[in-house]
Structure formats: C-alpha cells, structure tokens
C-alpha cells in the first residue's frame, strides 16, 4: 500500500488522514485491542467498527482474548466481539487494526488471527517508541485511544452518531477517570462536548461505568483495603490480592479494575501499587503514580509499560518475591527524588 501521509518513515508513523486513506482502501477488517480490555479498549474497538461501517464497509470482525467486562456489555456492538478461542474458518481480513496497544505481544492469542500479509494499523496513546504496525498513529498526548478516534472521525469527515458516541465516551471517560486525571486536556472536554451533542446520556453512562459495582468486587475491596500498607513516610501505599482471594469471593479479572486507585488516593501518596498473584509463579503489578515518578519507565525493567501515571507489568515470580523487590526499589527511588 502506498504511504500517502508518512510522518516518520522509519517507524511508519503517519497522520490520521493517512490512516483514514489506508482504511478506505481496504475492504475486510479485523479489529483488536489489549488483553483484559478496559473501557478504552472496548469502546475504541466498537467505535472503530462504527467508523468503518459509516465508510460503507461490512466485513468487520472484533476479537479479544478476554470477554467484554459486564459493565461495558450494554455498548452497541459489544455482543459481537468474538473470543480468540475459536477462529472463524473463513476469516481473511485485508487490514488488521490494533487499538490501545502498540505491540502485538499485548494482544495475546488474538495475534494468531493476524494474516501475515495484511497490513497492521496501530492507533494508540501509550508510550511506545517502536509500535509493531506498518501504519501507526501513536501519540501519548491523547488521554485515550477513544480521543484519537474522535479525531479520526473528524479528520475523515464521518458524522458521529449516538451509538458511536456512546462507545467513544466510555473510552475517554474511563481512561481519564471521569475527566479527573492529569491526561484530561482542553481537547478532551471539547471532544466530550461533541459526544454529548450526539445525544448520549452521560449521567446514565457514568452510573453504569463508575458507580455500580458487582458484589464480588465489593468483597475484594474489603480485603484489599484491610491489607493496605504505607511506607516511605506515607509516600508509597500498596496492597495485594492472592489467587485464593479471587476464588473465595468468586471475583473476575474485570472486578480488579480501579482497585489500585484506593492506594493512590490516600493523602500524601505519590506511588500506589496493587500486587496480584495470578498463579503461584506469576504476579501482576499495577502502579499509579504522580510526577516525578514515572510508572511506565519503572515497570519497563520488568517487561511492562503504560503511561507515566499508570502502568502495569506481569512478572514471572511469586507474589512475595515481586512485592519485596518492587517495594524496596520504589522506596529507594522516592528517596532519590525520582
């Protein structure tokens, strides 16, 4: 495919007009996002499907390794997201679109569905120097991948209908913590206003996404709060969840969403950490931090990534080992003023 609008030929970065031209030139699409999809991943996949349909495309498949979390299951199109467990025999997309992640490794088994010959489009807002795609728009100045997609609709002159607006609003509202995090910029609010003008019910969406919690999540929260520890004169707070907790309270992975914020929200805390034992040899780490601590840079040493203020990693070591190591290094960095 000719690259009509290359911005940086080496990493194949281009502007959104170039992305839109590339999408217009294709006829069948596979859309995916990172594993354990959050509101931005789900909302962006569905908004991209709406965008392509508005361009007159009909052959569109959305796939993810993990199910759409129940708090997003009401979004228009959510019921059509396939699980990567069973690949349709006739699947032959001529374009693959990766959203809210810059590397195929973040997609899990769904990456096995990518035909080697189909160009990979990447639209993402994570800190990633070397995205995997051949047509990439990666810009951490956007609060959410959903905010990039609003820009794509505007650039391509595609009207945003109510269904697309609901998906985009969920994407942006969740990644900005309800327009409260430092990634919320004037553009974020301007685009949210456009979505309100498309007729969405923002109060109802906020209630579904931010307020209602499953009884299982409530039970997890009880345990997590009870175990919260503070270190470094209260500048670090951390807690943990074991695999046994998850089974005992019948929690799903989606019930973990937002729990780390309780560590970060304690007054004086600069770094909040949640450690989760996924199995006896694997620990998922989630960090929320305020500057100058760079959570993504810190977790890059453990094979993770994300943003300065919010990052994650999956570490192949037992919970106790990972917790001791990360707490020690965090305290040291806080002492050095980093």
Could you list the residues that contact Mn ion (CB under 5 A)? 40, 100, 144-145, 175
Place of tokens 């609901």: 166
Task: Strand 305-306: give its sheet, edge to edge.
Answer: 229-231, 236-241, 271-279, 282-289, 310-315, 305-306
User: What's the closest the beta carbon of residue 44 comes to Mn ion, in angstroms?
Assistant: 7
Q: CB–CB of 218/183 below 8 Å?
A: no
User: What's the closest the beta carbon of residue 34 comes to ligand 5GP, in angstroms?
Assistant: 6
Determine the angle formed by the axes of helices 145-155 and 16-25, rounding to 10 degrees: 70
Between 135 and 284, name the residue whose CB sits nearer to ligand 5GP: 284
Between 84 and 286, name the residue whose CB sits nearer to ligand 5GP: 286
Residue selected from 143, 188, 239, 286 as contacting ligand 5GP according to rule CB under 6 A:
286
Residue selected from 37, 133, 146, 305 as contacting ligand 5GP according to rule CB under 6 A:
305
User: What's the closest the beta carbon of residue 5 comes to ligand 5GP, in angstroms?
Assistant: 27
Work out what residue 155 binds among Mn ion, ligand 5GP, none; the CB cut-off runs from 5 to 8 Å by kind. none
Residue 218: strand, helix, or coil: helix
User: What's the closest the beta carbon of residue 127 comes to ligand 5GP, in angstroms?
Assistant: 9
| Secondary structure (DSSP) of 165-197 | HHHHHHHHHHHTTTTTSTT--HHHHHHHHHHHH
Between 18 and 312, name the residue whose CB sits nearer to ligand 5GP: 312
Q: And the tokens for 180?
A: 């409260």
Q: What phi, psi does 213 have (nearest 5°)?
A: -130, 145
**Strand spans (E) along the chain:** 6-8, 13-14, 28-33, 59-64, 82-83, 95-99, 120-124, 135-138, 229-231, 236-241, 271-279, 282-289, 305-306, 310-315
Contact between 306 and ligand 5GP (CB under 6 A)? yes
- Give the range of 1-9, 142-150, 223-231, 303-311 binding ligand 5GP by CB under 6 A: 303-311
> Which residue, among 319, 314, 316, 322, has the nearest Cα to 108 in the 3D structure?
314
Contact between 34 and ligand 5GP (CB under 6 A)? yes
User: What's the closest the beta carbon of residue 36 comes to Mn ion, in angstroms?
Assistant: 12
Q: And the tokens for 44?
A: 């962006």
Between 118 and 246, name the residue whose CB sits nearer to ligand 5GP: 246
| Contact string 307-336 vs ligand 5GP (x = CB under 6 A) | x--xxxxx----------------------
Between 284 and 307, name the residue whose CB sits nearer to Mn ion: 307
Tell me how far apart the alpha carbons of residues 245 and 248 are, in angstroms, rounded to a whole number. 5
Between 21 and 40, name the residue whose CB sits nearer to Mn ion: 40
Tell me how far apart the alpha carbons of residues 254 and 229 are, in angstroms, rounded to a whole number. 24
Tell me how far apart the alpha carbons of residues 171 and 286 are, in angstroms, rounded to a whole number. 20
Work out what residue 307 binds among Mn ion, ligand 5GP, none; the CB cut-off runs from 5 to 8 Å by kind. ligand 5GP
Between 249 and 263, name the residue whose CB sits nearer to ligand 5GP: 263
Q: Which residues bind ligand 5GP (CB under 6 A)?
A: 34, 106, 126, 286, 304-307, 310-314
């Amino acid at each position: 495919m000719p690259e009509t609008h290359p911005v940086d030929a080496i990493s194949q970065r281009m502007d959104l007009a170039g992305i839109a031209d590339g999408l217009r030139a294709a006829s069948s699409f596979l859309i995916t996002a990172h594993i354990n999809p959050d509101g931005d991943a789900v909302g962006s996949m569905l908004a991209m499907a709406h965008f392509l349909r508005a361009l007159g495309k009909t052959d569109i498949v959305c796939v993810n390794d993990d199910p759409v979390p129940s708090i997003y299951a009401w979004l228009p199109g959510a019921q059509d997201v396939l699980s990567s467990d069973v690949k349709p025999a006739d699947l032959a997309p001529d374009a693959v679109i990766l959203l809210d992640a810059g590397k195929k490794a973040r997609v899990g088994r769904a990456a096995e569905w990518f035909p080697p010959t189909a160009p990979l489009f990447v639209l993402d807002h994570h800190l990633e120097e070397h995205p995997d795609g051949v047509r990439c728009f990666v810009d951490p100045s956007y609060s959410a991948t959903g905010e990039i997609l609003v820009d794509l609709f505007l650039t391509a002159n595609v009207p945003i209908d109510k269904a697309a607006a609901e998906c985009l609003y969920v994407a942006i509202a969740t990644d900005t913590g309800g327009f409260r995090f430092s990634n919320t910029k004037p553009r974020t609010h301007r685009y949210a206003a456009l979505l309100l003008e498309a007729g969405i019910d923002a109060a109802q969406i906020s209630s579904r996404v931010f307020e209602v919690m499953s009884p299982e999540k409530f039970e997890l929260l009880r345990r997590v709060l009870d175990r919260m520890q503070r270190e470094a004169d209260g500048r670090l707070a951390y807690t943990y969840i074991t695999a046994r907790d998850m089974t005992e309270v019948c929690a799903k992975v989606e019930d973990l969403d937002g729990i780390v914020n309780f560590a970060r929200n304690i007054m004086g805390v600069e770094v909040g950490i949640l450690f989760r034992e996924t199995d006896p040899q694997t620990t998922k780490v989630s960090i929320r931090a305020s500057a100058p601590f760079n959570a993504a840079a810190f977790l890059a040493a453990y094979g993770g990534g994300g943003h300065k203020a919010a990052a994650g990693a999956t570490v192949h070591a037992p919970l106790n080992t990972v917790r001791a190591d990360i707490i020690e290094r965090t305290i040291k960095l806080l002492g050095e003023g980093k």
